[in-house]
Amino acid sequence: MGKYIELNQENFDNTVSNGVSLVDFWAPWCGPCRMIAPVIEELAQEFEGKANICKVNTDEQQDLAVKYGIRSIPTIIFMKDGEVVDQLVGATSKQALTDKLNSLA
């Protein structure tokens, strides 16, 4: 059963350096972040072995949030081989995320 990967300063670069990654920048107090959390968990199961589905707690990993210019949350960045290729700000549909991941895979 797939589970999303919790990213931090130590494992971020290594995790996203190969293949496709979805990185959800979120915080526990953020309502829209909590709304899309179940979607992120479903994607982690559906894309197991095909894409890295990751989360970054911006309260705990402020350096990463600054590095990627995160100004509001949730922000979801899509990466391919360590490079940012797209970004979505705000809660979005599972279908939009699935379509984006499939287009990158």
Q: Which residues are catalytic?
A: 30, 33
Length of the chain: 105
Half-sphere exposure (Cβ direction) of 60: Cα atoms closer than 13 Å? 12
Round to whole Å and give the CA distance between 13 and 25.
15
Burial class (CB in 10 A: 0-12, 13-18, 19+), 73: buried
